[in-house]
Every structure is written in structure tokens, then in C-alpha cells.
Amino acid sequence: MTVPSHPVVELTGVTKTYGDVAALRSADVVIRRGELLAVVGPSGSGKSTMLNIMGTLDRPSAGTVRIDGHDIDRLSDRELSALRAGTIGFVFQQFHLAPGVPALDNVADGLLYSGRTRADRRRLAERAMRRVGLGHRLYHEPHQLSGGEKQRVAIARAVLGDPPLLLADEPTGALDSRSGAVVMELLHQLHEAGTTVVVITHDRDIAASLPREVRLKDGAIEHDSAPGAALPAARLPREAVR
């Protein structure tokens, strides 16, 4: 019998409001270690808000958020920063690489405040660069790299500390289709190596290609393909709505 892995993300009744606008409404999501899934929806659907809450970059207006078993409402800002640093890697549509700085040091700077020596940071950065297939681009500056290579540098930086959770926000949005396919293949490889990968995207084809799809509309979860995931009340069988 296979024992289910424990959750790395748990959102229970999570709502986020900005003034009179509910960007996220009563979201219930459980993501277990080792999953690969897409959070998909059009602009304004609540994807970015869910990303920020999953990544502990923002706190909910209501509901409970647990990251790797920790209730974030019980953590101080300092404790939350430590949890984020050790648990979550971020990849964004824009690569956020420092111009004029070799790729190796762009990656190594992800550990700038870790207390490690520069030599140790660079050693770990080189290992991460080789992991994403860029061992031959260590000393190239961002302007010498293709879009796909820049994104792979950003992914190397995100996985530098081997975080159990990787949040990828529109990771192919700034890339051509060929480069995008390379980046998605890399995310699959990271997942196969044990990283939990959440891809936030508006691309329905990307979402359909992943094992699980959480679909948002107007701030609410419209569909979750995980076995046993709760349906919104509007989609429950009539006899179940009381």
C-alpha cells in the first residue's frame, strides 16, 4: 500500500480581499510533496494572488495557510522569511538577472545572505547550473544568453538550496515555443528528481499537459482535477446542495 506524502501546501477557506474586491474566494487546495500541477486561469482570475499566498509573500484576509506543516499566521515575519528561504523557490516570467554579472554569480547571489563563503556559494551555484544543463555558460553575462538560457539560469537560482517547493509563475510567457518546451522539460526533470512543482499559467495547453490542473475563475476555484478534490457548490449534484 502506498502511503500518501504529506502536504507541502494547504489552503483552507482562503480569501484575499483588496478593499471591496475579492481577488481570491474561499480557496481550498492541498498540494502534497512530489506533485506536479498547474494553476490556470485568465488574467484577473486570482492566479497571482494564489501564488503570493502559497509563496508566503502575502497573508490571506481569511482562512488558514500551512506551508510544510507550518501555520503562517503563527509565524513572525522573521520566521516566515526563514521558512520561505528554506522551503520555496521562485521562478518568474521576467528573469531578474543582474546585467553585467556572470550567470554563475547571478545564481550564487541567491545565497548571498546565507552566511556561506563566496567560494561555497559559487560551488553550489555551479552544481545548480550544471543541473539545468548550463555548465558551458557559467561565465556568460545575461546579454550573451538566449531567453531560454536566461530562464534556466533563473531556475538554477531557484533550486540552489534544494527547496521542496518550486513556484513557477508563467515560466514560458516570455519565451518562443521551442525555448518554452525546453523549460517545461526541465521542470518535469526537477519534478522527477523529487521537487514539488507548481506552474502558474494562462496557457491551457501547458495546464492540460500536467498531471493535475487547478482552474481559477473570478477568484474562485472552478475545477481541481486531483482525486477527491471538493467541487464548488454550484457544480455539486443537486441532491448534495442543501
CATH number at residue 101: 3.40.50.300
For the record, the C-alpha cell of 212 comes out as 493535475
Does residue 229 surpass a pLDDT of 80? no
What confidence score (pLDDT) does residue 113 get?
74
Instruction: Report yes or no on 2 lying in a domain.
Output: no
What confidence score (pLDDT) does residue 242 get?
34
What confidence score (pLDDT) does residue 201 get?
95
Instruction: Report yes or no on 205 lying in a domain.
Output: yes
Instruction: Report yes or no on 234 lying in a domain.
Output: no
Domains in the chain: how many in total?
Answer: 1
Instruction: Report yes or no on 233 lying in a domain.
Output: no
Give per-residue burial for 160-175: e unless 16+ CB within 10 Å, then b: bbebbbbbbbbbbebb
Percent of the chain with pLDDT over 90: 81
Q: Could you tell me the residue range of the domain that residue 127 belongs to?
A: 7-227
Q: Is 28 exposed, middle or buried (0-12, 13-18, 19+ CB in 10 A)?
A: middle
What confidence score (pLDDT) does residue 230 get?
56
- pLDDT-based confidence at residue 233 (cuts at 50, 70, 90): very low
Tell me the backbone φ, ψ of residue 150, rounded to 5 degrees: -60, -40
Does residue 169 surpass a pLDDT of 80? yes
Among 23, 26, 22, smallest CA distance to 11 is for 26
What would the pLDDT profile of 63-111 be if each residue is shown by its tens digit? 999 999 999 999 999 999 899 988 999 999 889 999 999 999 999 998 8
